[in-house]
Structure 1
Amino acid sequence: MKKVFASIGGFFSKNVKSPLKKAFVKIGEFYIEKIDPILSKIWHALTHNFMIRFTHSHLILFSFIKIKITNKRREATLGYMFILIWIIGYLVFSLYPVFYSLYLSFFKVNLDGSDIVLQWQAFNNFKAAFISDPYFVEILIDYVMNTLFNVPVVIVFALIIAMLINQDIRGKGFWRTVFFLPVIISSGPIIGELINQGATTLPSIANYDIINLILENVGEFISDPIQNLLETILLVLWFSGIQILILLAGLQKIDKAIYEASMIDGASPWESFWKITLPSILPLISVSIVYTVVSMSVFSLNPVIIYIKDIMTGRSTVGTLTTGFGYSSALAWIYFLVMVVIILVFVGVINIRKGSRR
């Protein structure tokens, strides 16, 4: 710190005039004479005691555990110090509430004034979700089917747009901004207003007889997700901004010499896509899939999220057992596990395809 104040003082003495320069010099002198000795003593006490002691090359814990200090460990420690506030915040405000909700899922939770009264339910909350609750399973199945249909649409659309932007065209930055802009403004209230105004649908889609023919000749189990996809196609594509940037970054990392060599060998653009482009960006496709599933699942207008929120706040009329924080926590964990299974299915399919290409 002395060197820092000395260098800053030198800068001020050369570039800043009288009043401010004198004030800063006095602050620096006060720090060096009064504060720095106190901080040095505190630092020495913290690093030279019976629990922790620093030497030039070792960290000694409790006088018998020696840890060698290397440059790599110094750099790692410095990095962890920079993100220490985030780690503490994550542990306190994210990780602890998550596991506390798992704890509450085994209880019936009643709020008695400022006290929380817990009644042990074991797995009754989880059983009630599938047996007593008349709505949750139906909503969950709709979520699974819509996700299985919507995620591939988002990924394919993002890949097509990324490949178009990756061409030698003018205004690449402009088009990146255009496709990323919905990500910035896609908050719950805005999307809700767009849905209410019908701005997320294609009204003319119902006029195509081929669409109606497909919907009439497949089972309700398949036709409902397809119809929902067609009705909210613009909303689905609204979620593709981040994926476009991820895939575009991957496409830009592919060496163009590989494409030139394939063209010399007679490969068509279609073959180059399947043999070069797609295998090169498969890891980024996996990342995009994970991001897409998570972003769609935690979206504030997701019916499952709304239903769990209504259960938690007591606005649902499902029954005495199936209300409150305990039951809503159980639903949230079931929902989380289903979301994880969907991610594993998609990533598993990608990895199987990747392995079959080797």
Structure 2
Amino acid sequence: MSRQKGYWSFRLKDYGTGYLFMLPWAIGFSAFVGFPVGWSLFNSFNNVRLTNDGFKYEWVGLENFRRVLTEDNIYPIQLLTYFQEMLLIIPLILIFSFFVSLLLNQRLPGRSLIRAIFFLPVIFATGQVLMELFGQGAGKLPFIAQYNLDGVIREFVGPRIAEPLLNVLSKAVIILWYSGVQILIFIAGYQTISRSVYEAIRIDGATPWESFWKITLPGMIPFIGLNAIFTVVDLFTFPFNPVMYTVRDNMFRPQTGYGYASAQAWMYFLLILFLLGAVLWITYRSVIKRGGFR
């Protein structure tokens, strides 16, 4: 008992300061994240009714999830359609931000000013500002209607693929706006690659094209994974996300209510977790393959 008491006393002295600094975050996380998430999960297994006496809970188990999958004719289709759009948008944002950051990493006049310009949309185009710009048509590309690309795309790729593809094209400007943080992360990633490696491969006679495939791209794989995770989370909380609108509307409908809407939200959340898990697995396997973890 004395040895165990001494051990815990040593741990408290050794880590007590760190735990003390973590305490405000732990309290905030528990109050503003942990409790709402737990309450939402509890609601998803209940039929929740708002009465004059407050909330009334009736345990229904997985009934809300069954109703979402078998009785709802809108939400599953809406969820899968938006998921398809995100699978198209995420690679576009990563590719665009990767090559823009590659250009901005070069030594050129006014490099700091150009970097700031690319990051400005992240500051201005958020929240209500973004909604107002999109409402005025600033987020659309005019040449889509001008050259009738809508009909051309539907004719060549079919209606099933054309619908998410056209939705992505209609958000092309916003895709560019949502690349600012990724550009900064990629620029920071380039600084982790030693210049001596580039000098050594240049002495061996390698071209810039070869150095990109042999040095730059393999060294940026962890940052590509990090940006993919950030982009997934960022886009799945997109202000114009139709899935979130549907969940919010069902919260206040007498036929659905909080329990049904919570079940929809958790299905959406599990889909996001699945995609994040896939990104982490692909990144981990890529790093392991090139011997990044020992």
| Shared fold, TM over 0.5 | yes
Cα distance in structure 2, aligned partners of 1:272 and 1:261:
10
Counterpart in the other structure of 1:179: 118
Establish whether residue 335 from structure 1 lines up as the match of residue 275 from structure 2.
no
> TM (normalized to structure 2)?
0.90
Quote the Cα distance in structure 2 between the aligned partners of 1:121 and 1:193.
41
Q: Bigger shift: 77-86 or 126-135?
A: 77-86
Report if the CA contact (8 A) 1:300-1:306 is conserved.
no
Equivalent pair of 1:107/1:122 in contact (CA under 8 Å): yes
1:139 equivalent in alignment to 2:78: yes
**1:182-207: CA deviation from partner (whole Å, max 9, x where unpaired):** 22223332222111211111101344
Q: Deviations over 1:281-318 (max 9, x none)?
A: 1111111111111111112321111110111122xxxx
> Which residue does 1:238 correspond to in 2?
177
The residue that corresponds to 1:91 in the other structure is 30
Alignment of 1:32-111 (within 5 A): 65-67=5-7, 74=13, 76-111=15-50
Structure 1: give runs of 5+ residues left out of the alignment. 1-59
2: distance between equivalents of 1:262 and 1:117?
Answer: 69
For 2:12 and 2:181, the matched residues in 1 are separated by 34
Instruction: Give the distance between the partners of 2:24 and 2:277, measured in 1 at CA.
Output: 32
Q: Is the 8 A contact 1:202 1:231 kept in 2?
A: yes
2:212 matched to which residue of 1? 273
Paired with 1:171 and 1:87, the residues of 2 have a C-alpha distance of: 43
Unaligned runs of 5+ in 2: none
The letter for the 1-side match of 2:30 is L
Match of 1:309 in 2: 248
Distance 1:292 1:111 in 2: 37
2:82–2:164 CA contact under 8 A, matched in 1: no
1:123 and 2:56 aligned: no
Q: Which of the residues 291, 315, 318 maps onto 2:230?
A: 291
SS at match of 2:220: helix
Q: Are 2:188 and 1:249 equivalent residues in the alignment?
A: yes
Kindly, what percent of the aligned residue pairs are identical?
37
Task: For 1:335 and 1:357, locate their aligned partners in 2 and report how far apart those are by CA, in whole Å.
Answer: 34
Output the TM-score relative to the length of structure 1.
0.75
Is 2:222–2:287's contact at 8 Å kept on the other side of the alignment?
no
Q: Distance in 1 between matches of 2:231 and 2:163?
A: 21
Q: CA deviation at 1:130?
A: 1.1
Deviation, 1:357, is: 4.6
Cα distance between partner residues in 1 of 2:149 and 2:128: 34
8 A contact 1:108–1:120 mirrored in 2: yes
Contact 1:188 1:299 in 2 (8 A): no
**Structure 1, residues 13-41: CA drift from partner, whole Å, max 9, x if none?**
xxxxxxxxxxxxxxxxxxxxxxxxxxxxx
- Structure 1: how far apart are the matches of 2:31 and 2:63? 29
SS at match of 1:111: strand
| Stretch moving more, 149-158 or 161-170 | 161-170
> Is this contact kept in 2: 1:290–1:343, CA < 8 A?
yes
Structure 1 distance, partners of 2:78, 2:137, is 22
The 8 Å contact of residues 247 and 284 in structure 1, kept in 2 or not, is answered as: yes
Match of 1:344 in 2: 277
Q: Which AA in structure 2 matches 1:325?
A: Y
What secondary structure does 1:82 align onto? helix
Q: 2:93 aligns with which of 149, 154, 163?
A: 154
- The alpha carbon displacement at 1:152 in A equals 0.5
Query: Contact (CA 8 Å) 1:188, 1:301: kept in 2 or not?
Result: no
Post-superposition offset of 1:267: 2.0
Tell which structure's C-alpha radius of gyration is larger: 1
SS of corresponding position for 1:217: helix
Counterparts of 2:149 and 2:129, CA distance in 1: 33
- My pick for the range that moved more, 176-185 or 205-214, is 205-214
Aligned-partner Cα distance in 2 for 1:209–1:256: 48
User: Residues 183-238 of structure 1: CA distance to partner in whole angstroms, max 9, x if unpaired?
Assistant: 22233322221112111111013445788544421132222121111111011121
CA distance in 1, matches of 2:147, 2:16: 62
Query: Whole-Å Cα distance in 1 between the matches of residues 144 and 288 of structure 2?
Result: 39
- CA distance in structure 2 between the partners assigned to 1:260 and 1:292 by the alignment: 33
* d(CA) in 1 for partners of 2:97, 2:227: 9
| Equivalent of residue 326 in structure 1, options 259, 281, 284 | 259
